[in-house]
Structure 1
Amino acid sequence: MTNTDMQINLTDNSRIHEVDFNDLQFGKIFSDHMFECHYEDGAWNKPEINPYGPIEVTPAMNALHYAQTVFEGMKAFYKDENTINIFRPEVHHQRFNNSCRRVCIPETSYEMFISALDNLIRLDHQWVPKKPGTALYIRPFIFASDDLLAARVSDKYSYYIITSPVGAYYKEGFKPVKLTTPNGYVRAVNGGTGEAKTGGNYAASFLPARKAQQNGYTQVLWLDAIENKYIEEVGTMNIHFLIGDTLVTPALTGSILPGVTRRSVIQLAREWGLNVEERRISIDEVFDAYDDGDLKEVFGSGTAAVVSPVGLIEHNGRTIRLDQDEPGEFTQRCYDEITGIQYGRIEDTHNWVHEVKI
């Protein structure tokens, strides 16, 4: 898709002078432009890039009542004055379409997706922060836009991409976080929408997450909904356990989001010669490994946090305490490798990075 296939309307008033790039919070401010495309009569219309701003919806809009909506989360990184790196856009787009299929939203082409990203980032490249640990967060999303109160699949959809300069996702930064199991709540079941990035999954997780935070924990460590014993994921990231010389990651059973960073961590671990197992792992197995001295490291992985060390896990009055001050050696190595590729400090031998020339 070329620029002539996409209508581009530039803002007359950039807001970049309002931004303190030395104090970036996550998801608080947004760049000057946004991508927009609408679906009706069985096809996506001509895409546009417009100035970022409010969009008009009616009180009867389908998505507000029946939650037919999906989103993605990606990042772009400042490499040098001529290049911005987007991390693994092909895999993100594949997951975006998988989520769309699960909730009956029309799929989108990769050509339109990557063209939108290229154009947005070229227009707003000055919004990409340059400090280590910062990035331009990219949020594609689609929602049902029919003006009809009926519990059925919509005929109309709106597709947007907005971007936001961000710092660290967790207030701890790259310090170990604290997790607790949810005590009576479940996130998803096989056959449900757990493997899709759809808004309702997150809304249902907010109450147990808030209770966890009120009790001094960073996030919830979700267990399976049937037996309440097998570990699935954390509220905003996948989870990994280094037990002895083996990296154990909960298998994608249909109720776990297939994380892009999760996939990258597993590939790196295999290349580095570790034993890697994707399988069911129970919370009791993790505590037994800890009691036996075999649990070396626990860490989460996700686009927002990249890699996040875990320093404490609480479950039914029992507690695992790992290093509360620093990430483990393997966790640090994963973080350094992935961020090194993202920022262009390390050669991208995996073809994970899409370069945008500015």
Structure 2
Amino acid sequence: MENSHQPCNRMDWDKLGYDVIPTDYMYMMKSNKDGIFSNGALVPFGNVQIEPHSCVLNYGQGLFEGMKAYRRADGGVQLFRPEQNALRMQRGAERLLMAAPSVQQYIEAVKQVVAANKSWVCTVKFLHHVLGFLFLFIPHLLLQVPPYGKGALYIRPLLFGSGSVMGIAPAPQCTFLIYTNPICNVYKGRTSPLNLLIDDRIPRAFPGGTGGVKNIGNYSPVFEVTKEAKGKGFSDVLFLDAMERKYVEEVSSCNAFMVKGNVITTSPTVGTILPGITRNSIMELARDFGFQVEERKFSVDELLEADEVFCTGTAVGVSEVGSVTYKDQRVEFKTGKNTVTQKLYDFITGIQTGVLEDQKGWVVKID
């Protein structure tokens, strides 16, 4: 690993970004020959032993999820809609012919691994108040705990075909693995809006493929085009549909929305677009606020006429898009305060962090 495993009390939390930071424990559970998962357990974070004939290494049979754990101001820790991640993993497992843990097993495993790594979740305000006077005498004390609001604990559940195969066939055994990693609040350390490049050469997903599930093989094929875009100063690539190369689909790792007047539009999840949990939550909140929300195909031309554009996802949260460039035409959008994007960001973040009351039953507390 590039980063040595260091205890959280030696972290410089002010410099927290999106680096690899191993935490203390991970969770592992395997299926039996009947496809039933059992005997899951926490184990110290470390390397995983895997058979060279495993299906994931030879044929890419694997899925991943992304979640976050947030510490509230009262000291408790909570998750945001974990059952939706569990259900999405089950749908992906069905597509790739893998056994999958039940929703209950999934959530219990996530709870265990978060509780075991609880010291890596941002600490509480009242702890700083209690220790505040000590800072006058022993300043380094407050540097030994993660400051409140500095970030979140990212949770990465994996499901992969660990069983051995030689011919092209699904694995006879699957492994469910969860590890965690502290990350900053701002997506990859960005302090400015996203500036996206529309690339119509390479589609992200094809009809009938696996674009609608979190297949591990969905991401490496776009490494080249996204690397080129970032080399030119863009934040990421906004991909178009594979058939006509004119309809907006999604960014490499997040869903895309446009705002025009009182209408918020995003592309439908019809097999090439991932049904994001943040995406679905934002759509529901937007309707509650009185916006008209549409799930429909929309063209690049429509996008370039939008008032606002934003992206949603576990990692990006709700991120405003400052500009989109298409065929050397750069179009800028409204960002900052008093925007629809900011309103939605504030509300969903408030629910996730416990600042706002959860009236929808989306939060699962780990106390």
CA-to-partner distance for each residue in 1:171-193, whole Å, 9 max, x for gaps? 45352111111231011122110
One-letter amino acid of the structure 1 residue matched with residue 348 of structure 2? I
2:236 counterpart (201, 213, 219): 219
Is residue 356 from structure 1 mapped to residue 366 from structure 2 by the alignment?
A: yes
Is the alpha carbon distance of 1:354 and 1:93 closer, same or farther for their aligned partners in structure 2, counting shifts above 3 Å? same
1:94 counterpart (42, 64, 87): 87
User: Taking structure 1 as the reference length, what is the TM-score of the superposition?
Assistant: 0.90
- Find the counterpart in structure 1 of residue 344 from structure 2: 334
- Contact kept, 8 Å, 1:177 with 1:308, in 2: the verdict is yes
1:152 counterpart (141, 154, 169): 169
Gaps of 5+ in 1: 1-12, 290-294
4+ residue segments displaced more than 6 Å: none
- Find the counterpart in structure 2 of residue 173 from structure 1: 190
Distance 2:102 2:270 in 1: 27
- Find the counterpart in structure 2 of residue 299 from structure 1: 310
CA-to-partner distance for each residue in 1:86-108, whole Å, 9 max, x for gaps? 01111111111111111111121
Distance 1:59 1:155 in 2: 14
- Find the counterpart in structure 2 of residue 66 from structure 1: 59
One-letter amino acid of the structure 2 residue matched with residue 105 of structure 1? M
Q: More deviation in 176-185 or 53-62?
A: 53-62
- Contact kept, 8 Å, 1:180 with 1:220, in 2: the verdict is yes
- Contact kept, 8 Å, 1:180 with 1:217, in 2: the verdict is yes
CA-to-partner distance for each residue in 1:6-43, whole Å, 9 max, x for gaps? xxxxxxx9833343222212251122111100113112
Distance 2:320 2:257 in 1: 10
Distance 1:280 1:140 in 2: 31
- Find the counterpart in structure 2 of residue 76 from structure 1: 69
- Find the counterpart in structure 1 of residue 257 from structure 2: 240
CA-to-partner distance for each residue in 1:100-146, whole Å, 9 max, x for gaps? 11111112111111211222222221110243251010110011112
Is the alpha carbon distance of 1:169 and 1:63 closer, same or farther for their aligned partners in structure 2, counting shifts above 3 Å? farther
- Contact kept, 8 Å, 2:51 with 2:163, in 1: the verdict is no
- Find the counterpart in structure 2 of residue 161 from structure 1: 178
- Find the counterpart in structure 2 of residue 15 from structure 1: 7
Is residue 258 from structure 1 mapped to residue 275 from structure 2 by the alignment?
A: yes
Is the alpha carbon distance of 1:215 and 1:327 closer, same or farther for their aligned partners in structure 2, counting shifts above 3 Å? farther
| Count of matched residue pairs | 338
- Contact kept, 8 Å, 2:13 with 2:150, in 1: the verdict is no
One-letter amino acid of the structure 2 residue matched with residue 50 of structure 1? V
- Contact kept, 8 Å, 1:61 with 1:144, in 2: the verdict is yes
Gaps of 5+ in 2: 124-147
- Contact kept, 8 Å, 1:21 with 1:129, in 2: the verdict is no
One-letter amino acid of the structure 1 residue matched with residue 326 of structure 2? H
RMSD over equivalenced CA pairs, Å: 1.7
- Find the counterpart in structure 2 of residue 318 from structure 1: 329
Distance 1:265 1:121 in 2: 25
Distance 2:261 2:249 in 1: 20
CA-to-partner distance for each residue in 1:210-260, whole Å, 9 max, x for gaps? 111111111110100000000011111101101122111111121000011
One-letter amino acid of the structure 2 residue matched with residue 351 of structure 1? G
- Contact kept, 8 Å, 2:240 with 2:250, in 1: the verdict is yes
Is residue 134 from structure 1 mapped to residue 151 from structure 2 by the alignment?
A: yes
- Contact kept, 8 Å, 2:164 with 2:172, in 1: the verdict is no
- Contact kept, 8 Å, 1:174 with 1:308, in 2: the verdict is no
- Contact kept, 8 Å, 2:17 with 2:189, in 1: the verdict is no
Is residue 35 from structure 1 mapped to residue 45 from structure 2 by the alignment?
A: no
Is the alpha carbon distance of 1:133 and 1:225 closer, same or farther for their aligned partners in structure 2, counting shifts above 3 Å? farther
Distance 1:86 1:123 in 2: 14
Distance 1:316 1:133 in 2: 38
Is the alpha carbon distance of 1:183 and 1:229 closer, same or farther for their aligned partners in structure 2, counting shifts above 3 Å? closer
Distance 1:44 1:297 in 2: 45
Distance 1:14 1:217 in 2: 33
